[in-house]
Chain A
Amino acid sequence: MTQTLLDDQLIGTTAATAPGLLRLLARNRAALVAAAVIAAFLLMAAVAPMLASHDPNQQRSESIRVPPVWQAGGSPRFPLGTDALGRDLLSRIVYGARVSITLGVIVVLLTMIVGTGLGLLAGYFGGWFDAFVSRIVDVLLAFPFLIFALAIMAATGPSLTALVLALAFKGWVDFYRVVRGDVLAARGAAYVTAARGLGASTAHIIFREILPNVVPPIIVVATLRMATIIIAEASLSFLGIGVPPSIPAWGTMVSDGRADIATAWWIATLPGLAILLLVLSVNLFGEGLRDALDPRMSL
């Protein structure tokens, strides 16, 4: 309780500034550790070619299903072992980070722009536009996301463009709802009335007055959406309709290992650990951000 009070006071004063945010985050050890893990994954994705000791797609018929180095029969040449085609798992996991992170960032940015834009307009102008977009949102909310993504991917065949569209299809709704709600509330706020009274243009009011105030919740939604998107992409890739098979992706790797779970447990389980670690860190960091930026949304 005192914690919340303290946070509330800090929000009013310092959290709006970047150093204030950092100070709040710095008190949250879990979020800091999560940030470090995320940074490590980002670095791993960036320097994947230097870090991976092998070409992730190189097949070796002479060394298939080599166990990880700590197991009997393991080899230091393949620290995490190899899969059924003799591909080095560690190199594939390192490269897989590129796919998950790149797709996650692209999809989140895309949905953020669409959702925030529509939310600003619908919240500020209301009327038929708001009614129209809100009906679309109702329809989209009634969609089981995965089955729709499946249908798109099945229809177009595995391609990265289709995957981005399938993942983005419904994701903007979260941004839209948060932004629209906040804009509705801001519309009658004193600072907006004042700006209008001073003769500010509508565009100025929306983008220079209101938008900066809805940035904190947008950042929080973006972070938490990132976690969802990474899992969704991995799930589609697992079902064989996500990332094209020539690109090493974590979901595909888990699926590759399914046939061998009785004899070579590492092929399916180790790439999944990477997903879990990254998603867990993104969630932890996102919740830390939320507590720091927007305590109203905290659970």
Chain B
Amino acid sequence: MWSRFISRRVLQLIPVLLGVSFIVFLTMHLTPGDPVEHMLGQAGRVSQQQVDELRSYYGLDRSFAVQYWVFLSHAASGDFGISYSHQGRPVASIIRERSPATIELTLFAFLLALVLAIPAGVIASLRPQGAFDRIATVSALIGISLPGFWLGIVLMILFGLRLHWLPISGRIALGMAPETITGLAAVDALLTGNAPAFWSALRHLTLPGLVLAAPMAAMVMRMLRSSMIGVLEQDYVQFARAKGLPETMVVGKHALRNALIPTINIVALQTGLLLSGNMIIETVFRYPGLGKLAVDAIGAADYPLVQAVVLIYAGSYVLLNLGADILHAVLDPTVRPT
């Protein structure tokens, strides 16, 4: 039953990813600038023969359909071709190198958003229109109205340049990088028992993580608050209260569990938005992850790299939604597969 439900959902992803890959490939190829000319731009004078050789080396002399097919079949086996802008390194290896930083930042922002949003949403729902609720609601509205790049700069000025509390760029202090195990600096530092490195990694994550988490925290808090308010009026919650259960039990177990169900979709949607937020935030904080890589690659007309990053973003986005649907089915018996 579950395996059919999940495999059907996984199969539905294939046309979506094919569509995404086609649109990306098409856009990249409508670009007027020739990547070879771009590459040779700084190299000075080169002969037509050299240009032709480079074009055939990168397969740019073949037809659109052939290039797309080559791209797709290679991508399916994890080969995204060779980057134009990173001294001819394979795209896959650049991405492997940069992914852990982005995964770490995204995970950190994700946890931060939930840690802020869930208690705030629950407390706000207990006394709607109370003082806490008003403060939380106004903060949430500001949270979704703040341009991330600007909030990043303001926090950099305040906490980095004025108060000197937190670093304003990079992943970890110079020379402090822990031994690589997972690639996530803070996790590796914990695993190797390297407290100073852990502290440094955490401090570097704080500002970009906070900026990235702000809109998600706001949206999740609002959704949870309104769904908690609805749930707290339900009969079974009243009944749990009437049974004499302590209020923490009523709210924490009976109400929260049910209020979380509609919240899961917002969490998935917002986690997807964390991915695009990455590009801005990593650029602002000069954080060496995939988002900054993508922005730089676009500037350098590095098609293979851009294509690969977009596909990875789209793929993770789609998988996130799949995960949310499955979790939804697990928690909510009414949408369970039969």
Contacts and interface: CB of A to CB of B under 8 A. Distances in A.
Interface of A: 1, 135-136, 138-139, 142-148, 150-152, 154-157, 227, 231, 234-235, 238-239, 241, 251, 254-255, 257-258, 261-262, 265, 268-269, 272, 275-276, 279-280, 283-284, 287, 298-299
Contacts of A265: 157
B98 to A, nearest CB: 15
B272 A268 contact: no
Given A155-B30, A235-B149, A261-B153, A147 B294 contact: yes
A28 to B, nearest CB: 13
Given A254-B153, A299-B226, A239 B280 contact: yes
B279 A147 contact: yes
A139 B27 contact: no
B306 A272 contact: no
B20 A283 contact: no
Contacts of A261: 153, 156-157, 161
A142 B145 contact: no
Contacts of B314: 142-144
A135 B19 CA distance: 9
B317 A144 contact: yes
A142 B27 contact: no
Contacts of A255: 149
Interface in B110-131: none
B149 A142 contact: no
Interface string B276-301: 11011001100000000011001101
Contacts of B149: 234-235, 238, 251, 254-255
Contact of A272 (B24, B153, B298, B317): B153
Contacts of B154: 269, 272
Contact of A151 (B147, B310, B317): B310
A275 B147 CA distance: 7
B15 interface: yes
27 contacts: A139-B15, A142-B17, A142-B19, A142-B317, A147-B313, A151-B27, A151-B298, A151-B306, A154-B31, A154-B298, A154-B301, A155-B27, A155-B30, A156-B32, A235-B148, A238-B147, A238-B149, A239-B295, A261-B153, A261-B156, A261-B157, A265-B157, A269-B153, A269-B157, A272-B153, A279-B147, A283-B144
Interface centre among A136, A142, A231, A284 (most CB of B within 10 A): A142
A14 to B, nearest CB: 24
Interface centre among B15, B16, B28, B301 (most CB of A within 10 A): B16
B145 A280 contact: yes
Nearest to A262: B161
Interface centre among A138, A143, A152, A283 (most CB of B within 10 A): A143
Interface string B312-338: 011001100000000000000000000
Nearest to A241: B298
Contacts of A155: 27-28, 30-32
A278 B102 CA distance: 31
Given A272-B154, A284-B141, A139 B19 contact: yes
A258 B153 contact: yes
Question: How extensive is the interface on chain B, given as a class?
Answer: 35 or more
B142 interface: yes
A287 B299 CA distance: 38
Given A261-B153, A299-B222, A276 B147 contact: yes
Contacts of A298: 226
B317 A279 contact: no
B309 interface: yes
B280 A238 contact: yes
B280 A235 contact: yes
B157 A239 contact: no
B16 A139 contact: yes
Contacts of A147: 276, 279, 294, 309-310, 313
Interface in B126-171: 141-142, 144-150, 153-154, 156-157, 161
A283 B294 contact: no
B279 A276 contact: no
Contacts of B145: 227, 231, 276, 279-280, 283
B223 interface: yes
A146 B148 CA distance: 13
Contacts of A299: 222-223, 225-226
Given A254-B149, A272-B147, A142 B298 contact: no
Contacts of A157: 32
Contacts of A151: 24, 27-28, 298, 306, 310
Q: Which 10 A-B pairs have the closest CB atoms?
A: A272-B150, A139-B19, A144-B276, A155-B31, A280-B145, A154-B298, A146-B276, A279-B145, A144-B313, A299-B226
Contacts of B150: 234, 254, 268-269, 272, 275-276
A138 B310 contact: no
A143 B20 contact: yes
